[in-house]
Amino acid sequence: MESIRVGLVADPAAPTVIARRLTDLSPLDGRSAWDITVVSEPFTTGSEDVGVAVGRLQNHARRRGWDLVVGLTELPLHDHDGRHLLVETDAERQVAVLSLPALGGLRMHSRARSAVRSLVSGMAESTTQNEHRVALPRRRGRWRLLSGMVLANRPWLLVPGLKSALVAALATGAVATINSTVWPLASSMSWWRLVVATIGSIALVVGWLVIDGELWDRPDDDSPRSRERSRLYNASTLVTLMVGVLICYAGLYVVNLALAYFVVDPDVMAGAVNAPVGHGDLFVLAWFVASAATAGGGLGSGLESDEAIRAAAYSKREQDRRDRLARDAGQSTDS
């Protein structure tokens, strides 16, 4: 039997990586094989009407001679009632759009694989309705979508974007760890003050990143759809930045603790604080120094807003998609 020509159109970055891992998909029932082609191209802009994305995907299928096409996007999709969508299928036009963040944050690759196989099988067998959509539950689905957006931001990749701040914080922490004037202050800190210092230092760095990188998204208009998009974008950006800065904080704490164990003489420290010093005191010292170095060294270094930090914001990546679509449209007009 002749194979079915399937097109996967994926947003750049993570959706494209996922799509390229799906080229070996095949039907489970042993029917016509699938000839899968992957195209990396932004086909959605903003949380727009999903019908616009369906139309663009249909144009791709027509130009490339595909029998059916599935779009993989990292953007949240919604219907006219404001519900967030997992998938929208137009069986008559043989087009489907899948919102990857709506799959949730965990097991993204395996869930995407299962969803795409189900979509392709359904359209190939014409078992779906003319228009079929799967909406997320209003409350639980929003948290699921947000977790998927945060993991799509890959917060662990934020660390390279904070390299100068991290180096400055490490230097500040090293000096503070061996400074005898810091020891009495650290030993006097209660646990709740240390917790407040940790939260405050991380919040300061996150706030500065948002301001310095202009990462805060503002609604395009006063419509509920636009406001909801901005809320989702900003929430995912803040959580992503907090996770990324927390990773840096944890690394800074480990380095400070190791330095304290190797450099600080417990007897000398005991004389400075006028009290016996044990292992717990070194943990407290490293904790206090990590908070102080994160706030002081990080903010004082002038945080750079490079691509790693821009990637933490959905609004910035969305702007990149808009720019690429505009360039592609201009090239098409010129040709």
Domain with residue 81: its CATH number is: 3.40.390.10
Domains in the chain: how many in total?
2
pTM: 0.81
**CA–CA gap between residue 96 and residue 90 (Å, rounded):** 6
Q: Which range marks the domain in which residue 13 is found?
A: 3-143
Co-location of 271 and 191 in the same domain: yes
Which of 143, 163, 181 is the C-terminal boundary of a domain?
143
Q: What is the pLDDT of residue 308?
A: 63
Residue closest to 99 by CA, chosen among 70, 56, 122: 70
Highest mean pLDDT among 25-34, 116-125, 194-203: 194-203
Q: What is the pLDDT of residue 47?
A: 47
Residue closest to 185 by CA, chosen among 298, 299, 297, 284: 284
Co-location of 165 and 19 in the same domain: no
Q: What is the pLDDT of residue 131?
A: 61
pLDDT tens-place string over residues 45-95: 554 567 778 888 888 899 999 999 999 988 888 777 777 888 988 878 889
Residue closest to 158 by CA, chosen among 319, 306, 315: 306
Q: What are the DSSP E strand ranges found in the chain?
A: 4-10, 34-40, 68-73, 77-78, 84-90, 95-99, 131-135
Which of 115, 143, 171 is the C-terminal boundary of a domain?
143
pLDDT (average), residues 94-120: 89
Q: What is the pLDDT of residue 271?
A: 84
* Confidence band, pLDDT 50/70/90 cuts, at residue 269: confident
H/E element, 104 = none
Residue 206 is assigned to a structural domain of this protein: yes
Q: What sign does the CA torsion over 32, 33, 39, 42 have?
A: positive
Residue 172 is assigned to a structural domain of this protein: yes
pLDDT tens-place string over residues 177-235: 888 888 888 888 889 999 999 999 999 988 888 887 778 888 777 777 778 888 888 89
Q: What sign does the CA torsion over 147, 151, 152, 158 have?
A: positive
The SS3 of residue 9 is: strand
Encoding tokens for residue 312?
Answer: 């933490």
**CA–CA gap between residue 14 and residue 239 (Å, rounded):** 18
Co-location of 132 and 160 in the same domain: no
Q: What is the pLDDT of residue 67?
A: 92
Quick one: DSSP state of residue 137? P
Half-sphere exposure for 315 (CA within 13 Å, toward CB): 22
Co-location of 70 and 33 in the same domain: yes
Co-location of 165 and 207 in the same domain: yes
Residues 6+ apart with CB under 8 A from 175: none
**CA–CA gap between residue 105 and residue 149 (Å, rounded):** 7
Co-location of 158 and 254 in the same domain: yes
Which of 143, 169, 197 is the C-terminal boundary of a domain?
143
User: Mean pLDDT across the chain, nearest whole number?
Assistant: 82
